[in-house]
Amino acid sequence: MNLVSKTAAGAAVLALSAAPAFAVGPPTGTPSPNENSASNPGTAHKLAAPGRYCKAASRKKTQGQERSDFSTCVRAQAKLRSGSTDSPREACKGADKKHVKGEQGTAFSRCVSVGAKLLKDKQAQDEHAAENA
């Protein structure tokens, strides 16, 4: 390949790689700034993933534990989301109730706390959906 061909090929590669940077307008699928939540109902009051509620829970199993605290918490959140139970205490009944030195509360109490938060968020989501219906 001679110098002119290499230069032309290099320029073409640079031009093609820079094209997305100079595109006009927001990326595809992004709502415009003047759209409100009424025209885009999926953007308001969305429940976080169960892992987000349980992010502080330990992912390690201690000796004799069947599941990690994180796993137990996520499973409890799934029960609350599906409606198979309305009680965070009932959903978290498999969580460890032993107090670990240096940690605030027990795995059970933290699970119940985030379960109550999920139910509160779920209720707010349901109320918002009822307002917009």
In sequence order, the β-bridge partners of residue 133 are: none
What range does the domain containing 86 cover? Answer: 50-133
Q: Report the pLDDT value the prediction gives residue 31, as an integer from 0 to 100.
A: 52
The answer as to whether 128 is a domain residue is yes
H or E stretch covering 6: helix 3-18
The answer as to whether 33 is a domain residue is no
In sequence order, the β-bridge partners of residue 99 are: 106
pTM: 0.63
The answer as to whether 98 is a domain residue is yes
* Mean pLDDT value across residues 43-70: 84
Mean pLDDT of the chain: 81
Q: Tell me what percent of the residues of the chain surpass a pLDDT of 90.
A: 39
- Per-residue pLDDT band for 28 (boundaries 50, 70, 90) equals low
The answer as to whether 9 is a domain residue is no
Q: What is the pLDDT of residues 64-117, one digit of tens each?
A: 888 999 999 999 999 999 999 999 999 999 898 999 888 899 999 999 999 999
> In a 3-state reduction of DSSP, which class is residue 106?
strand
* Alpha helix stretches (DSSP H) within 19-106: 50-53, 69-82, 88-91
The answer as to whether 61 is a domain residue is yes
The answer as to whether 17 is a domain residue is no
The answer as to whether 30 is a domain residue is no
The answer as to whether 35 is a domain residue is no
- Counted domains in the chain: 1
